[in-house]
Structure 1
Amino acid sequence: MSEAAPRYQFGDVSQILEAVVAADGTAGHGYASGAHVSFGPNATLTLADLADMAYYLCLLHGRHPGVIDHAATRSADNAARSWLVQATDAFARERAYLTQVTVAVGPAPSTAGQSDCETVVSQQRHALDMLAQSDRRGCAMGAAMALVLDWRAVRHMLDIAAIRVGLEPHACDLPDRAETLAVAQAIGGDDTIDRAILFGGRQLLNQHRGLWDVLQARAQVRARKDR
């Protein structure tokens, strides 16, 4: 459980979800922090690291249908419909951008344990599919909202990779933080649904952190090999 969540345990579900993303999301992971300084001669992540990131991120989120697409077929909440339409359309464009960046930066670098890593990420993808197709009301929406909230940090890393190979990043049209949290507040309020929303959100973030753990370990293996 995130350390930030208890601060909002008596607040509404949108506050808790925001706190969980802040504490356990991509932006707080060491791999993402390294991406923030990946320009110039002292870049923390090499182009090979960024190619690795794009390749495995494409394995996780590059296929259709994805988390948001599944959530759109599961949600019966009228308050979420317009958000889901916008998020589904926008993430289709994000998926295309992810594919474009993955092709531009080149193949994932050869690294010891390659097949094991691909198996791990494939299992993560399967876990996300199951999560986003859950019949537990609120679970799929929690995963979808956490993805949209966390994607800003993911997108920052993609943009760095794009710029490194001369691509111009395009605007991200996903619903913004305020819109997403407003939907969480609108569909929440019931303890059972709130718990499901937070479960879905936390599980999505766990899979993201698992991906960054894999990529960080792979980068360390390559760095040791190059010494």
Structure 2
Amino acid sequence: MAFTSANGARFGEAWEALTALVSAEGSAVEPFAAMLAGAGSATRDLADAAHCWCMLHARHPGVLEHAQGRAEHPVVEAWLGEAATGFTEERAGVVRLVAAAGPLPSTPGQAESETAITGQRHALDMLASSDRAGVAIGSAMALVLDWPAIRHVLDAGARRLGLQVVESALPLARDSATVVAALAETPAFERAMLFGAGQTLAQHRALWQLLEARADARRHHR
């Protein structure tokens, strides 16, 4: 993933801990995500992923905008501003993909799925709005660092539908690493940052697991 190029002792232990967390618990290690990105995945499963990730992250305000309201450090404000601007383009891409994919694939238990995703959105909003120093930026960092793996699947869907795939405008890894190095001056802040990141990644894992369950439900409902 892109952020690994910025991983190193010069950015401090907090950055190493954060990238290790994303590597171990992020979307890149989710088996269903890897399956979806493969050539043999069903188009309806890719369409379902686009719709569900759109429900989770394509609304405004989202994680990055909520975190902006908690920024008290100029470096954080600048990074979040860049990240929020870049993610506006990511949202637009997801919306275009959903429009091209057509209606949400018919799936048993749709109401329950929508309720689950609504709960996940609420959990993410709470993390990104936390008053505990470190939690909001940890949540924002986890979204930015995990997004390339999520987008890998979304890009597979875009290519399947003949859409153009554009380069991400999210902050570069070295810029994110610099922010973490500037902020994580105390063990308490680092713990809070890793908590926010870990909880955000947990919501992402939960969505991949929901997508897998939905795909299984469709296969058995034929």
Of 131-140 and 80-89, the range deviating more from structure 2: 80-89
Q: Which runs of 5+ in 1 are unaligned?
A: 1-7
Q: Deviations over 1:32-81 (max 9, x none)?
A: 110231x3xxx1x2111011101111110011001011111111022222
Q: Deviations over 1:81-100 (max 9, x none)?
A: 22111101000111111111
Cα deviation, residue 112, structure 1: 1.0
Partner of 1:65, secondary structure, is: coil
Q: What is the 5 A alignment of 1:3-14?
A: 12-14=13-15
Aligned equivalents of 1:78, 1:138: Cα separation in 2: 15
Aligned equivalents of 2:183, 2:108: Cα separation in 1: 45
Aligned equivalents of 1:163, 1:141: Cα separation in 2: 32
Q: Which runs of 5+ in 2 are unaligned?
A: 1-8
Residues 18, 181 of structure 1: 8 Å contact kept: no
Tell me the residue number matched to 1:16.
17
**Aligned with residue 100 of structure 1, among 93, 96, 103:** 96
Letter matched to residue 36 of structure 2: A
Cα deviation, residue 185, structure 1: 1.6
**Aligned with residue 58 of structure 1, among 18, 38, 54:** 54
Letter matched to residue 180 of structure 2: A
| Percent identity between the two aligned chains | 44
Aligned equivalents of 1:58, 1:125: Cα separation in 2: 11
Aligned equivalents of 1:116, 1:198: Cα separation in 2: 30
Residues 139, 200 of structure 1: 8 Å contact kept: yes
**Aligned with residue 147 of structure 2, among 145, 151, 174:** 151
Tell me the residue number matched to 1:162.
158
**Aligned with residue 85 of structure 2, among 86, 89, 100:** 89
Residues 52, 107 of structure 1: 8 Å contact kept: no
Q: Deviations over 1:207-226 (max 9, x none)?
A: 00000000011111222334
Tell me the residue number matched to 1:48.
44
Q: Deviations over 1:144-201 (max 9, x none)?
A: 0010000000111111111111100111010122221221121102111111100100
Partner of 1:64, secondary structure, is: coil
Tell me the residue number matched to 1:173.
169
Q: What is the 5 A alignment of 1:127-142?
A: 127-142=123-138
Residues 134, 140 of structure 1: 8 Å contact kept: yes
Tell me the residue number matched to 1:73.
69
Tell me the residue number matched to 2:197.
201
Structure 1 vs Structure 2 CA RMSD: 1.3
Residues 135, 195 of structure 2: 8 Å contact kept: yes
Runs of 4+ with deviation above 3 angstroms: none
TM normalised by structure 2 equals: 0.92
Of 198-207 and 187-196, the range deviating more from structure 2: 187-196
TM normalised by structure 1 equals: 0.90
Tell me the residue number matched to 1:5.
none
Aligned equivalents of 1:14, 1:107: Cα separation in 2: 40
Aligned equivalents of 2:176, 2:103: Cα separation in 1: 34
- Tell me how many residue pairs correspond in the alignment: 212
Partner of 1:74, secondary structure, is: coil
